[in-house]
């Protein structure tokens, strides 16, 4: 297995990082073996025509290492002025009506922002950087060696586009939004992919598989370009199996909360607009579908992705949702399957 300098990287952590970098996301990188890591390993093995054991065996290591070149699983990063500038929202209430009174739903701290930037759990960053303050520009920390998720770039693109804020779970999007494809954010596609949207979009299919709690981006030959864990549906709001299409794509959406669409909503709640931000209920992106009230979106709690149920929509980590944006536009085929 690959090694690096202090702190020593475990085999599990290295596997998570290298799979993420290869375009087979294990979700939140936390250094722990689990279902998301196994699914990512199996998807990579399937794509490479290896034995689908779900274990990162010698041949899988070899293929991952070939794609990684000479890069090590961990790298150092100097915290920047922009990282510590915020603004941060230290106290975010869990109640949606209370959230609607806030101006934005940004990160709670520099640590949380850095964790999302490097696809990692805050606890992992703390464990790898004993004694780090995570508050000072210039402080050197050890982080997973992945393509950073740049929230500021996503925000700048949305501001430049001048579009209104999006919908989620039942509110119709405003006219004229979402038709323009979003450029890739958070990670470059594997194997040097990243051609012009007009060339690649018509042939792409987004597939969500209920049995494996996974989303894949597939080209017209069925080749998997990207894989990520998802949370999709529940007994009350099952995943609507079938073929759908993308209608709009929105970055940094406002969440138009309609309690009538949620079986477990507080009866005292009314309709409300929940401000945009990475801690918004739909995170940093909303991909609206032709199936009414359903979409693919980010999420404020990456540790839960792939492990808990949703209210029917398909949730990804914010960084994986941003990566999916590079392949979708209005008309992209979306398949929900068992």
268-309 tens-digit pLDDT = 887 889 999 999 999 999 999 999 889 999 999 999 998 755
Q: What are phi and psi of 308, to 5 degrees?
A: -130, 170
Residue 312 is predicted with a pLDDT of 60
Residue 234 is predicted with a pLDDT of 63
| Domain ranges (residues) in the chain | 151-337
Residue 161 is predicted with a pLDDT of 67
Tokens of 130: 């004993």
CB 322 within 8 A of CB 285: yes
Strand, coil or helix: 294:
coil
Q: Name the more confident of 238 and 1.
A: 238
Distance CA 62, CA 72 (A): 14
Q: Is the pLDDT of residue 154 over 90?
A: no
- Helix residue ranges, H only, the chain: 11-21, 35-47, 58-68, 81-85, 96-99, 110-117, 122-128, 151-161, 197-200, 318-324
Q: Which of 154-158, 227-231, 270-274 has the highest mean pLDDT?
A: 227-231
Distance CA 203, CA 218 (A): 8
Q: Is the pLDDT of residue 176 over 50?
A: no
CB 44 within 8 A of CB 24: yes
Tell me which residue has tokens 């070939």: 66
Task: Quote the Cα angle for 87-93-95, to 5°.
Answer: 135
Share of the chain above pLDDT 90, in %: 69
18-47 per-residue burial string, b: 16 or more CB within 10 A, e: under 16: bbbbbbbbbbbbbbbbbebbbbbbbbbbeb
Q: Is the pLDDT of residue 46 over 90?
A: yes
Work out the angle between the directed axes of helices 151-161 and 110-117 (0-180°, nearest 10): 90
Tell me which residue has tokens 């009350």: 236
pLDDT grade for 199, boundaries at 50, 70 and 90:
very low
What sign has the CA pseudo-torsion 84, 90, 94, 99?
negative
Bridge partners (DSSP) of residue 224 are 218
Distance CA 52, CA 108 (A): 39
Radius of gyration of the chain (CA): 19
| Residue of 38, 36, 41 whose CA lies nearest to 60 | 41
Q: Is the pLDDT of residue 261 over 80?
A: no
pTM score, whole prediction? 0.85
CATH number at 151-337:
2.40.440.10
């Amino acid at each position: 297995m690959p090694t690096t300098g202090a702190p020593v990287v475990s085999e599990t952590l290295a596997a998570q990082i290298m799979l993420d970098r290869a375009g087979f996301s294990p979700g939140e990188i936390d250094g722990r073996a689990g279902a998301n890591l196994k699914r990512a390993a199996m998807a990579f093995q399937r794509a490479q025509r290896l034995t689908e054991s779900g274990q990162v065996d010698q041949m899988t290591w070899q293929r991952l290492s070939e794609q990684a070149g000479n890069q090590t699983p961990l790298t150092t990063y100097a915290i920047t002025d922009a990282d510590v500038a915020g603004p941060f929202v230290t106290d975010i209430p869990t109640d949606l009506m209370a959230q609607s009174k806030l101006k934005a739903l940004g990160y709670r701290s520099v640590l949380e922002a850095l964790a999302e930037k490097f696809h990692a759990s805050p606890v992992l960053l703390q464990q790898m950087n004993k004694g780090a303050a995570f508050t000072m520009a210039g402080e050197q920390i050890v982080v997973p060696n992945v393509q950073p998720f740049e929230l500021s770039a996503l925000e700048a693109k949305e501001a430049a586009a001048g579009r209104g804020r999006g919908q989620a779970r039942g509110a119709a999007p405003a006219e004229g939004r979402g038709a323009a494809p979003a450029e890739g954010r958070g990670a470059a596609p594997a194997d040097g992919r990243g051609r012009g949207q007009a060339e690649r979009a018509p042939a792409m299919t987004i597939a969500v598989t209920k049995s494996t709690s996974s989303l894949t981006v597939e080209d017209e030959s069925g080749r998997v370009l990207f894989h990520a864990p998802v949370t999709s549906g529940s007994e009350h709001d099952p995943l609507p199996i079938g073929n759908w299409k993308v209608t709009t794509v929105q970055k940094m959406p406002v969440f138009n909360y309609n309690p009538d669409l949620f079986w477990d909503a507080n009866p005292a709640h009314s309709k409300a607009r929940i401000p945009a931000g990475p801690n918004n209920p739909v995170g940093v992106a909303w991909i609206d579908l032709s199936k009414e009230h359903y979409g693919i979106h980010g999420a404020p709690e990456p540790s839960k992705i792939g492990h808990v149920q949703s209210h029917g929509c398909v949730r990804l980590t914010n960084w994986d949702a941003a990566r999916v944006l590079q392949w979708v536009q209005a008309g992209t085929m979306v398949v929900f399957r068992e």
